[in-house]
């Protein structure tokens, strides 16, 4: 009888642990305030490859499934693509007309250069390909320089330059194919496909340029589209529906949106959020951040920050009141690690860590593979946390899955959960 009693008692003690509810995947986070938790955050989460300005490779839906709990979302207005007179708020990594006129050549050259470089890496034939492809690379560089100059007739120069690049690449591919080995022949075929792609681009270049910049006669009649380089641009409504679907299916998760609004009135953005039913989840700040558990019980699990606000929508929180951000213009990992400086945060403010390498308009995947590694992330976040005396909240990175999803492991370490339970990277007594 005594043994039976002991077994029943042990079951009673163990049952609550099995039934313990989780918040953002971990029971330990339920009693922590929103501003005491670290979150994996994607930079421009809907700007995907093969866009010319992408910062991510995988969709926002897949990012959320992996563990992303916040994203920065740039929003632009774009003329109705269906020919109507209205304007649509679009989720896209946009560009200004002035920026594009100055950097168009560099953007195009950079992306084609990536395609060529990928073929070289896959082939293992760098010595054989080196000479020919070096010439191709030089050609691309010249094209970029010519187009950046912005002089009259640059479109024609771009077309001629790309033709030379295409011919040079085709010659190199032919030489490789003549080597005879099967693998080398495949590389040659692959390079020919790149060459063909460049050739097609030559034919499209002038038409594309006219769409971007217009002509002297018709320039005023052509509406510039800021989303034109982001091939994954989509109506804001679509993105909000994706986030709502995630919150609907995951009632124990809290998500954060940082809106970067260009031109559209915030009222129209709010209208879209309300239209899809997402505003029902939106949290309105009232003096102090609640715990994740409280937010979940109240079903106010979406926190929205924006650089544009309107008193009519109090659930859109003013970014300037709550977010303290690190610098973001880094050219290398060394720059990132050297830039750690004390950051002062006031009560209820959160620390946004912008952790990505910027060498052009698009994200830098090779840079992300290094910057997102556990060792680099831990070094920077530990230094930032210690100097600011605050947990880094939003760990915002490009190519979130690179190199091996390290950011998710580091976020767990910051929060002291999972295998890091009781041993957080920074100990603030949460």
Query: By mean pLDDT, which of 47-61, 217-231, 307-321, 416-430 is the weakest?
Result: 217-231
* Count of domains forming the chain: 2
Q: Is residue 8 part of a domain?
A: no
d(CA 253, CA 275): 22
Omega before residue 289 within 30° of 0, cis: no
Residues 1 and 18: their CA atoms lie apart, in Å, by 26
Last residue of a domain, one of 173, 195, 221: 221
* 30 shares a domain with 116: no
Domain boundary among 201, 221, 241: 221
Least reliable range by pLDDT among 43-57, 99-113, 210-224, 248-262? 210-224
Residue 27 within any structural domain of the chain: yes
323 pLDDT exceeds 90?
yes
Instruction: Indicate whether 50 belongs to any domain.
Output: yes
Q: Give the CATH number of the domain where residue 66 resides.
A: 3.20.20.190
Beta-bridged to residue 42, according to DSSP, are: 71, 397
Distances (CA, A) of 379 to 329, 383, 391, 403, 423: 18, 6, 14, 16, 16
Q: How far apart are the two ends of the chain, measured CA to CA in Å?
A: 43
Cα–Cα–Cα angle for 195, 197, 199, rounded to 5 degrees: 70
Q: Is residue 149 part of a domain?
A: yes
Which residues, listed in sequence order, are joined to residue 304 by a DSSP beta bridge?
257, 316
Which of 221, 246, 269 terminates a domain? The answer is: 221
| pTM of the model as a whole | 0.76
Task: Name the more confident of 65 and 189.
Answer: 65
pLDDT digit string, tens, across residues 150-201: 444 545 555 566 666 666 666 666 665 555 555 555 555 555 555 555 555 5
Distance in angstroms (rounded) separating the CA atoms of residues 392 and 396: 10
Q: Say yes or no: 241 and 118 in one domain.
A: no
At 352-410, the pLDDT tens digits run: 999 999 887 889 999 999 999 999 999 999 999 999 999 999 999 999 999 999 999 99
Q: Is 1 a member of any domain? A: no
Q: Which domain holds residue 127?
A: 97-221
Closest CA to 42 of 56, 25, 54: 56
Q: What's the pLDDT tens digit per position in 231-241? A: 899 999 999 99
Q: Are residues 158 and 70 in the same domain?
A: no
């Amino acid at each position: 009888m005594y043994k039976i009693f002991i077994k029943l008692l042990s079951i009673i003690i163990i049952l609550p642990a099995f039934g313990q509810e989780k918040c953002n995947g971990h029971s330990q986070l339920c009693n922590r305030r929103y501003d005491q938790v670290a979150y994996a955050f994607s930079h421009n989460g809907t700007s995907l490859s093969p866009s010319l300005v992408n910062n991510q490779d995988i969709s926002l839906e897949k990012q959320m499934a992996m563990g992303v709990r916040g994203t920065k979302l740039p929003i632009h207005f774009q003329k109705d693509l269906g020919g109507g007179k209205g304007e649509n708020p679009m989720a896209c990594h946009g560009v200004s007309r002035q920026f594009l006129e100055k950097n168009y050549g560099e953007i195009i050259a950079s992306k084609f250069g990536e395609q060529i470089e990928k073929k070289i890496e896959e082939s293992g034939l760098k010595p054989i390909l080196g000479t020919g492809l070096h010439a191709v690379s030089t050609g691309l560089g010249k094209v970029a320089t010519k187009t950046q100059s912005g002089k009259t007739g640059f479109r024609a120069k771009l077309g001629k330059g790309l033709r030379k690049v295409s011919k040079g690449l085709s010659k190199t591919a032919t030489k490789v194919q003549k080597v005879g080995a099967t693998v080398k022949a495949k590389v040659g075929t692959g390079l020919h496909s790149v060459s063909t792609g460049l050739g097609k681009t030559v034919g499209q270049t002038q038409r594309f340029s006219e769409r971007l910049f217009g002509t002297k006669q018709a320039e005023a009649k052509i509406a510039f589209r800021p989303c034109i380089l982001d091939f994954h641009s989509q109506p804001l409504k679509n993105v909000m529906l994706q986030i709502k679907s995630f919150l609907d299916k995951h009632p124990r998760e809290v998500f954060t949106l940082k809106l970067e609004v260009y031109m559209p009135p915030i009222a129209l953005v709010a209208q879209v959020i309300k239209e899809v039913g997402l505003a029902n989840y939106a949290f309105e700040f009232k003096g102090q951040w609640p715990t994740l558990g409280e937010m979940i019980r109240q079903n106010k699990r979406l926190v929205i920050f924006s650089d544009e606000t309107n008193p009519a929508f109090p659930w859109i929180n003013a970014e300037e009141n709550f977010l303290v951000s690190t610098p973001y213009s880094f050219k290398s990992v060394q720059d990132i690690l050297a830039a750690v400086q004390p950051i002062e945060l006031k009560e209820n403010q959160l620390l946004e860590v912008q952790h990505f390498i910027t060498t052009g308009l698009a994200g830098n995947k090779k840079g992300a593979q290094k910057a997102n590694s556990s060792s680099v992330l831990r070094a920077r976040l530990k230094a930032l946390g210690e100097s600011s005396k605050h947990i880094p909240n939003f760990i915002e990175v490009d190519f979130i899955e690179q190199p091996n999803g390290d950011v998710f492991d580091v976020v767990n370490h910051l929060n002291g959960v999972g295998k890091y339970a009781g041993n957080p990277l920074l100990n603030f007594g949460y």
